[in-house]
Structure 1
Amino acid sequence: MREEEEDEKEKELMEFITSEIPKFYAPSWQEREEFQEPQEVYLPDLKEHLLTQLRITFTDEEEIRIGEFIIESLTPEGYFTMEPKEVAEALKVDREKVEKVLSEIKKFDPPGIAARDAREALLRQLEEKGIDDLARRIVEEFYSQDVETIKEKLGVSEEEIERAMEEIRKLNPAPASGKWGEVTYVIPEVLVEKEKGEWKVILDESNIPFLHISTRYIEMLESDELPEETKKWLRKRLRNAVRFLRLLEERRKMILKVVQFIVEHQRDFLEGKTEHLRPLKLRDIAERLGVDISTVHRILKGRYVQTPRGIFELRYFLAGGVRKGWEYVSKSQLEERIREIVDNEDKQNPLSDAEIAEILKREGYR
């Protein structure tokens, strides 16, 4: 009976190897010129990036003044170390209003900005990624302690701690660090193009080597001369290889699904019919595809796409929504409308933020 079970397992393994597992290599379309040369991409200045989000989020003149003060007071790491009471006294405003504005700024991009310290910055990034488990407890309670201490106090294995620490290492304890305000060079991993009226999403896998199950090991497994103990070891290694290749294929399919959803959602922008993005959040993509928010976050972060309108980081296509009448428009549309109002105002008698807010209110923005 034992021998029959082993034969059945071996048969299943061989079926996996010969039929279900993809081979990874750089196919001919990856020789396209689009993927060959690093492309120039401008990253906005951090202060400029934060002030844009501030003016999109608030229309009250006093709240904008508070926000500007907070942004100007950030440390080089991106922390805000003042107490709300100090800001209230400096600006002669209500403390509650300062707390409200600070709370909103802490939701701005990059994740963790305006945190009090590295610990809070990491916690906010874990929250955005949808991670609320051991990694969060380690940051929250044992930030400066070693693995042995954490293991003893939490009663978890070293392997579990190491997995959590791996997630923490991916975060940025200094949110303001990065290439803000610089021209950087990237090689887009995804190409989006329109062909015969249909949008196509193409992955550049040229940096992935040719991967497949070696026929040599398959032959060894089928050999009658190989000791059973060796075959048992080989089966285990082959199953691991099969699992790895299947995970690669699942990752590839998920990237395609995410980008295809973004293309479908932001079609008007990609086709040049509008300069504005439709509202789109991480949660929208996750719910549509039936995956965790953290999965979508990992796919979008640091991955660039080449489109007919230029090269963008995938996160660029996320846009918060603002209510106008009975529909939602993107924050970039609101930003554009504010710019139009300012451009057309009387330069000798410029509008105040409160007056701009009133114009927007009359037009239905909420």
Structure 2
Amino acid sequence: MALGPRLDLRQSQSLVMTPQLQQAIKLLALSNLEIETFIGDALDANPLLEMGEAAPADVPEAGAEDLRRTHLESSPVDQLVGEGRADEDRPLDIDPATLDRDRDTGDSNSGLDMVDHRAASGGGEGLDIDERGGAEETLAEHLHAQVGAASSDAQMLFVARWLIDQLDETGYLSLPLGEAAEALGLPLAVVERALALVQSLDPTGVGARNLSECLALQAQEADRYDPCMARLIDNLDLVARGEFARLKRMCGVDDEDFADMLAELRGYDPKPGLRFGGGTAEAVVPDILVRSVPQKGGKPGEIAGWDIALNQATLPRLVVNRGYYIEMRGACVGKEAKAWLGEKLADANWLLKALDQRQKTILKVAAEIVKQQDGFFRHGVSQLKPLTLRTVAEAIEMHESTVSRVTSNKYLHCDRGTFELKYFFTSGVASADGEGSVSAEAVKAAIRQLIDAEDAKAVLSDDALVDLLKARGFDLARRTVAKYREAIGLGSSVQRRRQKALAGVR
């Protein structure tokens, strides 16, 4: 075989992703509040950019389509942006055809996945809301998860949940019960019983109004609250001053018993609430607002559709200062200065266009989620349907990774509360009739409802829950019911029976 130079033709494909495209991808995953920070940096770097006055939420700019809201009727909506717009103004999507598919290695992964493997992990299957929680469980969340199993009295549960929300981060209740009763418009005795219910929850000592009560609750739980221990706890000021001889006389115990009592006392937790995450979670500012639209001429409460809008309070309006550009252009004399100014103008125009496309993309994805989960917005979590990123992506003809980025760090507010967009993507459970499937969140809601309503003298076992759920149309195995019960923080039948018994004694 002769050796020598020769020319060969080879066809290959490489990843082509401009810095602008990379930036547009990152913008999709940012929340509106994070966009504010991004825009602040852009304002510092580009003298041609400035903040404009935000247009009123309900008044589109004159002569322009309102790109910050859409109206979703009960019938499907095919277009959320106006006709006649240029192709480059469509909602931002990442076309897999423009990204790398390395034929030499046979790798079929899109270049977008190479940039960020995490965005579309799990094959488009959304995780349960419990598994998605990024923050440490707070004390309030921990208590709310237990209280439903501790009583079947609806009024008692309401007051107990209200009291839980009044606890400070250490687990103490600083609000006088008289003021609580007055605020709720209920007799003091009812509030006292509700407080006893809260004090029966884990961790022992929560709901106490002072240190003595907190330690007394823990001593009662340990079955060490005899008259001697009660006197010791009632005189904590003497313990702090080290007047042990006086305390021994008051408690009527010898040195050995007193040492045991002190050791027991020092083993209790004076601030049980601090075992959990920060007391008060930061308020979530929604990125998307969903409002029901009443049916004209219909019955009261009848809904015709949904009004979906981006939250104007967290949506800065950026503009290019054309006057300043003209002024600077007249002052530029060299090629480098003119090139720099032209680059800044191009960057400013691109950023405005990218933010505009981001708004359209978020609005389009949110509208499809609302359409897919119409039952949830009308009737609550029991009507939450199984939904995947792929289903939404195919419906709006976008790439799955684009939908994944849009739903990251975004929150939606509606009449039922504020929810992360990821909440609406949930796995499915087969229905008992074999037709279709139901959301795992709907199953959890049904389990919680059954346990909240159970009789303290007839606590439901997991087998009983299986039968009751099957009657409601949920075909679940016993181990699946146990998994969902534990996921929402509800104990076994033995644990719940003990909690209810303690609540009844107190």
Using the size of structure 1 for normalisation, the TM-score is 0.47
Larger radius of gyration: 2
Q: Which structure would you say has the larger RCO, counting Cα contacts within 8 Å and 6 or more residues apart? A: 2
